[in-house]
Amino acid sequence: MEIIWALGLFVAIALALLIGYPVAITLGGVSLWFALAGWFAGWFDTSFLMAMPNRVYGIMTNVTLMAVPVFVFMGLVLEKAKLAESLLENMAALMGKVRGGLGFALLFVGMLLAASTGIVGATVVTLGLLALPVMKKNGYEESLSVGTVCATGTLGQIIPPSIVLVLLGDVLSNAYQQAQIDMGIFSPKTVSVGDLFAGAIIPGLILVLFYALYWLIIVFKSPQKAPAIQFENKKNILEILGSLLPPLLLIVAVLGSILSGFASPTESASVGAVGAMLLAFAKKQLSLSVLMEVGRETVKVTAMVFMILIGAALFSLVFKGFSGDEIVRALLVDLPGGKYTTLFIVMVAIFLLGFILDFIEITFIVIPIIGPILLAQGFDPVWLGIMFAINLQTSFLTPPFGFALFYIKGAVDIDSVKLYKGVIPFIIIQILVLCLLVWQPQLTDLIKF
């Protein structure tokens, strides 16, 4: 009977989200209704809910999660500073005169924006509005252009300092400690956000490299899809360096302080926020009205994240009260093919959930349930976190429900068939990178500080 209650809770939440109810309210509200119904039916012990005040207190005092609003603030300031516009203009002037140059410039700028802002939706929309009109005007194939915008815009999922990795780092740390305690290890090791940042660097660069190789193939096989162009306003090397150095220095300052252990993610995010304001001030894009707008947006995003986290904490308690975690463990453990079968099933489930849930919901709802199971089977927590991040990135690109596709269609007028055709090669590339990480898991362990 417990399996019916646990499954019913999960299905009810999924249906409510599909109808369009707010995520945080849905998680908490549906869970409470199921707890009440289960208590009346004699299948739920209300003592599980007694842990909720401690959960909320733990969320509010979590030092790692304090980095989220600061990273969001940094990204929004850089967006208002028109960083993308400046970078794309200068890189296009530098590389546009070679075949496919605009595409390579777009990849480079997308990588820098991902490392600077970490906000996927904003990056996809910004790159779409800036790059697509220029590429279309100069004869670039529309499906190729829009596919590249979507793929590079979602790099913020994997390239640090990614907000996805900050949230994953906190959840995986708890899951890793729980897995070790379940195995009888009462002095558990920990995994930090800095570990995930270090582990993500090589896979993120490999992903960008594979994108670039795809563009090279296009350039040589079908040069008419990505012609060379000439810019009337030529840029000298000093102008180009002047646009590239500030964001590069900002990235080095933020990542370097975390990876070297000199600063915590929250402290380094503060460094990034101050650096972003200085950069915006230098570009004469910083004003009181801009700061107020950035502040309001930061509060909105932060409130959403923490409300979802509180709702997810309530959901996990009720789900556990119905023995949902034990049911999931029983279903996934001892499958034919061992731990890699379990991993495959979990990755497919997360991929499909990525069609209806944002990364925040998946991180807070799903990972705490399946994370301890996979980690107890011997998977490395850093490697597993990177696999989750790339998997979600792939889901966000996949037609017809990928979030990145909705972002780009909301920003520019693009035919759906051309859009789907454009993203498919990048989906294949990301699946290949996932397979590469399964074959060579040490790729997430090459950089250590």
Q: What is the DSSP string of 308-322?
A: HHHHHHHHHHHHHHT
Question: Mapping DSSP to helix (H, G, I), strand (E, B) and coil, where does residue 264 land?
Answer: coil
Tell which phi-psi region holds residue 338, choosing left (phi > 0), alpha (psi between -120 and 50) or beta.
left
What is the phi-psi region of residue 160: left when phi exceeds 0, alpha when psi lies from -120 to 50, beta otherwise? beta
Enumerate the domain spans of the chain. Answer: 2-445
User: Does 355 score more than 80 pLDDT?
Assistant: no
In contact, 446 and 200? CB cutoff 8 Å: no
If you average pLDDT over residues 347-374, what whole number do you get? Answer: 84
pLDDT tens track for 258-276 = 777 788 778 888 888 888 8
Q: What are the structure tokens assigned to 295, written together?
A: 């502040």
Q: What is the DSSP string of 199-250?
A: HHHHHHHHHHHHHHHHHHHHHHH-GGGS-----SS---HHHHHHHHHHHHHH
Structure tokens at 60: 């509010």
Q: What is the CB-side half-sphere exposure of residue 99 using CA atoms within 13 A?
A: 13
Tokens standing for residue 54: 């401690």
Span 372-383, mean pLDDT?
89
Closest CA to 251 of 130, 85, 71, 107: 71
pLDDT number for residue 426:
94
How far apart, in whole angstroms, are the C-alpha atoms of residue 349 and residue 334? 18
Is the CA virtual torsion 348, 386, 371, 51 positive or negative? negative
Neighbours of 333 (CB within 10 A): 12
Higher pLDDT, 23 or 341: 341
List the Cα angle 442/443/445 in 5-degree steps.
Answer: 60
- The percent of the chain in helix, strand and coil, each rounded to the nearest 5, is 80, 0, 20
Q: Which long-range contacts (CB under 8 A, 24 or more apart) does 437-441 make?
A: 437/203, 437/383, 437/386, 437/387, 437/390, 438/340, 438/387, 441/380, 441/383
Residue 82 to residue 413: CA distance in whole angstroms: 22
CA–CA separation, 294 and 291 (whole Å): 5
For the segment 343-349, the average pLDDT, to the nearest whole number, is: 91
| Contact indicator for 169, 191 with CB cutoff of 8 Å | yes
- Highest mean pLDDT range out of 53-62, 84-93, 213-222? 213-222
pLDDT, mean of residues 5-11? 85
pLDDT band at 124 (very low <50, low <70, confident <90, very high): confident
Mean pLDDT on 326-338: 80
Q: Which two tokens stand for residue 40?
A: 């009346």
Rounded Cα distance, 13 and 230, in Å: 54
Residue-level pLDDT at 230: 67
The two structure tokens encoding residue 293: 């707008």
Distance CA 232, CA 364 (A): 50
